[in-house]
Amino acid sequence: QSVCFPFQDVFRDKHPEALYRASNINVSRFTTRFPFSMKLIGYARCDPMEGEKAVNEVKYAREVLGLRGLKLHPRSEGWIDNITTEKAINVLVEAVKHSMPVIFDTRGKGSILAIGELIKSTRNFIQRKYPDLLPHFKVIIAHFAQGNIGDLDVYNTIVQPNTYGDLSMLHGEGAGNFFKSFREWFISSRKEAVDGRKWSEYLLYGSDYPYFGDVHAEKLIIYVINKLFFDTGGNLEDARNILGLNQLRILPEYNLPQIKKDAKPLPSTMVSNPNMQEG
pLDDT tens track for 9-57: 666 666 667 788 999 998 889 888 888 777 888 999 999 999 999 999 9
**109-163 confidence digits (pLDDT tens):** 999 999 999 999 999 999 999 999 999 999 999 999 989 999 999 999 999 999 9
Q: Residue 35: is the preceding peptide bond cis (ω within 30°)? A: yes
2-250, CATH topology level: TIM Barrel (3.20.20)
With a threshold of 0.85, does the pTM exceed it?
yes
Taking the C-alpha atoms of 147, 151, 153 and 155 in order, what is their torsion angle to the nearest 10 degrees? 90
The pLDDT value recorded for residue 8 is: 65
Asked if pLDDT for residue 262 goes beyond 70, the answer is: no
Domain boundaries, the chain: 2-250
**221-249 confidence digits (pLDDT tens):** 999 999 999 999 999 999 999 999 999 99
Distance of alpha carbon 122 from alpha carbon 142, whole angstroms:
18
The pLDDT value recorded for residue 272 is: 43
Name the residue with higher pLDDT: 218 or 201. Answer: 201
Asked if pLDDT for residue 259 goes beyond 60, the answer is: no
Secondary structure class of 181 (helix, strand, coil)? helix
Whether 145 contacts 170, CB under 8 Å: yes
Mean local confidence (pLDDT), 180-208? 95
Distance of alpha carbon 108 from alpha carbon 94, whole angstroms:
27
Asked if pLDDT for residue 6 goes beyond 80, the answer is: no
